[in-house]
């Protein structure tokens, strides 16, 4: 039963109970449902304070031959009825009292005394050591009404472009942190009684147990409204784990806007985009996205799917869980926590004759072999894989399934990526010391067309940039940009996979790929530093 029907049933039960009470008390009963939101009010008959205190509301202020009318409940003091009846009778007026349900009384009181819209201060992210801001935000969050605190927290996280909300139990308080542009920031310390409110709301929306003694995974969606009245849909993945003081929760926020899943918006160079377009335009082959959690692999994979999403292609995805819903694509959830497997799901969907298949993640040899088999039998297969670099992905895959001639002919492209924070516009230029200059030159040794790739930067007269804090960018950064390492599989790389080369290691594979023109993540990051997109510290932190 949906929520609206449930509310209607509860109201009907309450009205029937009020009708019985009226009969017992010898009062006329009135069902106000048909007019309670439309009838004109009579505001001058009683003050609002008395309406609240005595559970009574005016219905009609008389006029002509009409009597004065009041609505009362079973909580209304008998003395109040006696007093008002005597007052109007003494004045020669008629007065009537009707017993109504508590719900009817509350509806009228919301009209007589509308709840005041409380506007809370926006959450601010504190810089390191800034306890004053944390105290202010804590005070704000602790003052937000119980029915709004959960939604307020999510709305504020979205406004800050946070990717995660971390709710963590401490001995005497609840710590809230948010991950913004890849960095986890302390936000607030909440009173312990907020834990019950937050976890209760979280449990009801995600069907998770607030008393579970094992880790849980859930999912919810929320419409977030912006200042101009427009809204967007947030997909929220929820992970909970029991700790010493209660369940900790992490909420991962995905701003679902299908138009943003676009290769043109990833900041790819023309060369990177051309390599991806060439590979995914083929009807078969395997493409792997590698990188740690939170590196943007899913966004890039979905952007590739959107580029392929035409009416003449059948596209199926297998995901755990489904992060974005895309029009025109068949998306199948795989619950690996309850016995489901990507390999089994993949074997099933291949019978549906897809052109393109996206497998959420290659986690085991069975999935790897099934994906490889699918990619050489007329399907384009896209998937993610955990590895630090493209070269490491080959080493890991060989460790998983051994040297494999079929894998060598199926794999077309491996992409490793990271997300780094972008410098805001008010960045400051500085001259690095000689040791830094030498480091930059060493990393970029052998990279062709450096000036062309960095908008004319000269390594002999090197300038770098550092962040400057502002109101719009409190840490000097604004958003993130992708750093991407792309290894297009050549005949020499295939030799490693087939086992033709005895010394199979990450360094050997990387050197071979670099000899064919591949730029490493570190080199791509350094070029971004020279362009002024990010900082050397950020590249060191992420890559």
Rounded to the nearest angstrom, the gap between the alpha carbon of residue 206 and the centroid of all alpha carbons in its chain is 14
CA-nearest of 230, 233, 208, 228 to 218 is 208
CA–CA distances in Å: residue 472 to residues 160, 314, 479: 11, 44, 11
Question: How confident is the model over 23-76, as pLDDT tens digits?
Answer: 988 999 999 999 988 888 887 888 888 888 899 999 888 776 788 899 999 889
Read off the pLDDT of each residue in 279-290 and give the average, rounded to a whole number: 94
User: Residue 71, Cα to own-chain centre: how many angstroms?
Assistant: 47
Q: How would residue 321 be classed by pLDDT, with cut points 50, 70 and 90? A: confident
pTM of the model: 0.71
Residue 441 banded pLDDT, cuts 50, 70, 90: very high
- Taken in order 114, 115, 119, 125, the sign of the CA dihedral is negative
Find out whether 166 and 155 touch, Cβ atoms under 8 Å.
Answer: no
Percent share of the chain, pLDDT over 90: 52
Tens digits of residue pLDDT in 472-481:
888 899 989 9
Mean pLDDT, residues 457-474 = 88
Q: Taking 80 as the threshold, does the pLDDT of residue 228 lie above it?
A: no
pLDDT tens-digit series, residues 295-311: 989 889 999 999 999 99
Band of the pLDDT at 1, cuts 50, 70, 90? Answer: very low
Q: What pLDDT shows up at residue 6?
A: 67
Alpha helix (H) residue ranges in 42-181: 48-54, 78-90, 102-112, 131-143, 149-159
Q: What is the model's pLDDT at position 522?
A: 96
CA angle at residue 410 from 406 to 414, to 5 degrees?
125
What confidence score (pLDDT) does residue 175 get? 94
pLDDT of 347 > 90? The answer is yes
Ordered alpha helix ranges (H), 144-192: 149-159
pLDDT digits (tens, 9 = 90+) for 75-106: 899 999 999 999 988 888 889 999 999 889 98
């Amino acid at each position: 039963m949906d929520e609206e029907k449930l509310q209607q049933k509860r109201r009907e039960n309450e009205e029937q109970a009020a009708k019985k009470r009226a009969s017992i008390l010898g009062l006329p009963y009135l069902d106000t449902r048909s007019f309670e939101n439309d009838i004109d009010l009579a505001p001058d008959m009683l003050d609002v304070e008395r309406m609240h205190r005595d559970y009574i509301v005016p219905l009609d202020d008389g006029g002509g031959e009409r009597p004065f009318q009041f609505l009362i409940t079973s909580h209304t003091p008998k003395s109040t009825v006696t007093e008002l009846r005597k007052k109007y009778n003494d004045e020669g007026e008629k007065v009537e009292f009707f017993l109504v349900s508590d719900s009817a009384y509350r509806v009228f009181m919301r009209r007589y005394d509308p709840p005041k819209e409380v506007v809370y201060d926006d959450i601010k992210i504190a810089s390191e050591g800034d306890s004053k801001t944390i105290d202010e935000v804590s005070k704000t969050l602790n003052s937000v009404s119980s029915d709004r605190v959960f939604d307020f927290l999510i709305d504020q996280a979205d406004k800050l472009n946070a990717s995660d909300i971390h709710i963590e139990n401490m001995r005497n308080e609840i710590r809230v942190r948010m991950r913004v542009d890849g960095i986890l920031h302390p936000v607030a310390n909440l009173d312990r009684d907020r834990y019950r409110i937050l976890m209760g709301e979280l449990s009801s929306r995600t069907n998770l147990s607030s008393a579970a003694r094992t880790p849980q995974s859930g999912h919810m969606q929320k419409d977030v409204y912006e200042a101009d009245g427009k809204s967007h849909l947030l997909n929220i993945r929820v992970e909970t784990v029991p700790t010493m003081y209660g369940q900790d929760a992490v909420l991962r926020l995905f701003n679902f806007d299908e138009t943003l899943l676009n290769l043109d918006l990833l900041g790819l160079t023309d060369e990177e985009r051309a390599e991806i377009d060439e590979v995914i335009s083929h009807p078969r082959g395997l493409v792997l996205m590698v990188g740690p959690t939170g590196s943007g692999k899913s966004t890039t994979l979905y952007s590739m799917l959107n580029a392929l999403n035409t009416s003449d292609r059948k596209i199926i995805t297998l995901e755990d869980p489904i992060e974005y819903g895309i029009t025109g694509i068949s998306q199948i959830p795989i619950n690996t926590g309850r016995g489901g497997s990507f390999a089994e799901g993949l074997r099933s969907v291949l019978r549906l004759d897809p052109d393109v298949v996206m497998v959420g993640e290659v986690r085991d040899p069975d999935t790897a072999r099934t994906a490889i088999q699918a990619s050489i039998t007329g399907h384009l297969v896209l998937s993610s894989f955990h590895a630090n670099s493209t070269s490491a992905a080959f080493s890991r895959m060989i460790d998983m399934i051994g040297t494999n001639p079929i894998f060598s002919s199926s794999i077309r492209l491996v992409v490793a990526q990271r997300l780094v924070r972008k410098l805001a516009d008010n960045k400051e230029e500085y001259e690095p010391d000689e040791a830094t200059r030498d480091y930059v030159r060493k990393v970029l040794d052998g990279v062709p067309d450096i000036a062309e790739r960095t908008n004319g930067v000269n390594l002999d007269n090197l300038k770098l940039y550092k962040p400057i804090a502002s109101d719009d960018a409190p840490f000097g950064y604004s958003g993130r940009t992708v750093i991407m390492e792309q290894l297009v599989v050549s005949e020499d790389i295939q030799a490693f996979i087939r086992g033709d080369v005895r010394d199979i290691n990450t360094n050997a594979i990387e050197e071979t790929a670099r000899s064919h023109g591949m730029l490493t993540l570190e080199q791509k990051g350094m070029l971004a530093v020279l362009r002024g997109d990010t900082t050397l510290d950020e590249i060191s932190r992420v890559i």
